[in-house]
Structure 1
Amino acid sequence: MSLAVAVSSAFRDALTFWLPVACAGCGVVDTDLCSGCRDALVAVVTRRLVEPGVTVTSALAFEGVAARVVRALKEEGRTSLARALAPALAEALRVATPAGARVTTVPSTRAAFRRRGFRPLDVLMRRAGWTHERLLRLARATDDQRGLGRRARRENIGGAFVSRPLSGGVVVVVDDVVTTGATLAEAARALRAGGADEVIAVALAHTPRRGNTEGKSRVIET
């Protein structure tokens, strides 16, 4: 563990000790996550076509309680919340992963790792009881995808990932939140280019698409 990561972890622990604990989902004090918000994290597994040839199996809608809890994990460093989110991710993986498939995750940027001091997907996968391989790496720097539309996301992430050489088989690639699907589509492209016969996409949560939003995804099975 680097000195920066150790300092970041110690700082988070100190804040947890000195500041009142509040529910990440609703803000009620004296609990990390109240029972009502915990119940809101029960998986409702959905398959969504988000890009041509890319169907994502996800467990939660990224809104309300689920969105607040995921943000608290990722941006506030409240890694203990992974324990409550993990069952939903485990259910999506169970539904989507065929026997013998290799499992990998979308790599985080170096900047994100330095900022957080940990990789959220690593924590979630470990809590979910799933092991994974690092089959993808970043080939170039990318901008933050937040706030970008579908076309801008494709352009930003295009060619960003490179896969380790693969000798066929099925690979399941996991992300925490899928919005337009551009990141998972690029990961799938890289894995196929690396030699995978089939790529299956899984996410903890999906962002609901409403109204005439650009690039609306289509629910194809629940």
Structure 2
Amino acid sequence: MPGYCAFCSVAAEGGQSWCPDCFADMPWNHGACELCAEPLPTAHVGTLRPRQCGRCLKRRPAQTSSWVPLRYESRVTRLVQRYKFAADPRAGEVLVQLMLASLDHAPELGAAMIGVPGQHERTRECGFDHTAWLTRRLAARLALPVIVAERVRETPSQRGLDRLSRRRNVKRAFVVNRSLPAAVTIVDDVMTTGATLDSLAKACRDAGAERVTAVAFARTPSARI
């Protein structure tokens, strides 16, 4: 309900969708890998060394940075599921508001936003493209234009696939049929292994982007994949 915390239902102040206690208790993804947003061990947080995980040091992703403010855990998992599977508009709005509330920690977002193109069959089943909705709302709040990428082939669901299979599944699945500015932002709701965003980032590079920032609402820690 408007005016109440979306997580505990107590009265919320200042037009926020959460109370201070729930906001502080969110599973924030601080100290994550700067390339893929993988949560890093606590020992890496606050160090002056580049924050990159072992996988990115071995195989650098196509994006030049990632901003994923939360981990896909506890109340965040429930919020995302309400948005994606129940088409709950308030849950979607809370997602956008939480992302905007963490902008102080975000890298430079570039001159345009590009959402991961949805699966046509899944979009028909759900009645809406949840990533396109999220991209449009976020871009509008940041006064950025939206550029539409194309999914050139339907891909099986990523659920249940290991890291290598996910990468193969979405390889060359996207194309951007126009020249892009030097810096752009690509958007998905949840980053699991990063394979989908990596594939879209490659398509953006092919279209002329030199710097690609990958943005998602939540990151699944690799221990859960």
Query: Given the alignment of the two structures, is residue 157 of structure 1 paired with residue 164 of structure 2, yes or no?
Result: no
Q: Which amino acid aligns with 2:117?
A: P
SS at match of 1:96: coil
> For residues 101 and 185 of structure 2, what CA distance do their matches in structure 1 show?
14
From 149, 152, 161, the counterpart of 1:136: 149
Q: Are 2:91 and 1:81 equivalent residues in the alignment?
A: yes
Q: 1:126 to 1:66 in 2, by over 3 A?
A: same
Structure having the larger proportion of residues in strand: 1
Aligned length: 187
Once the two structures are TM-superposed, the CA of residue 40 in structure 1 deviates from its matched residue by 4.4
**How many percent of aligned residue pairs carry the same amino acid?**
32
- Please state how far the C-alpha of 1:70 moved relative to its aligned partner: 0.2
Q: Distance in 2 between matches of 1:154 and 1:109?
A: 16
Query: How far 1:41 moved relative to its partner?
Result: 4.5
1:166 matched to which residue of 2?
179
The answer (yes or no) to whether the contact 2:180–2:204 under 8 Å persists in 1 is no
Tell me the distance in 2 between the aligned counterparts of 1:156 and 1:197. 25
Rounded to whole Å, the distance in 2 between the matches of 1:161 and 1:53 is: 19
Match of 2:12 in 1: none
Tell me the SS of whatever aligns to 2:222. coil
Over 3 Å counting, the alpha-carbon distance change for 1:167 and 1:126 in structure 2 is closer
Moved more, 116-125 or 59-68: 116-125
Q: Deviations over 1:1-22 (max 9, x none)?
A: xxxxxxxxxxxxxxxxxxxxxx
Q: Given the superposition, is the C-alpha separation of residues 38 and 112 from structure 1 closer, same or farther in structure 2, using an over 3 Å criterion? A: farther
Question: 2:191 aligns to what?
Answer: 178
What does residue 67 of structure 1 align with? Answer: 77
Q: Is contact 1:44-1:59 (8 Å) kept? A: yes
Distance 2:31 2:101 in 1: 11
TM-score by length of 1: 0.71
How far apart are the structure 1 equivalents of 2:129 and 2:171? 22
Shift in Å, 1:194: 1.3
Q: Note if contact 1:170-1:196 (Cα within 8 Å) is conserved in structure 2.
A: yes
User: In the alignment, what sits opposite 2:118?
Assistant: 108
Q: C-alpha separation between the residues in 1 aligned to 2:166 and 2:176?
A: 20
Deviations 1:43-92 (A, max 9, x none): 55554243533342101100100011101110111121122221222245
> Separation in 1 of the partners of 2:220 and 2:128?
23
- Match status 1:96 vs 2:117: no
Q: What's the TM-score once normalised by structure 2's chain length?
A: 0.70
Give the equivalent residue in structure 1 for 2:42.
none
Q: Is the 8 A contact 2:114 2:135 kept in 1?
A: no
Between the aligned partners of 2:26 and 2:135, the Cα distance in structure 1 is: 16
Q: Tell me, which stretches of 5 or more residues in structure 1 are unaligned?
A: 1-22, 215-222
Gaps of 5+ in 2: 10-16, 37-55
Deviations 1:158-185 (A, max 9, x none): 0100012225511111111001110011
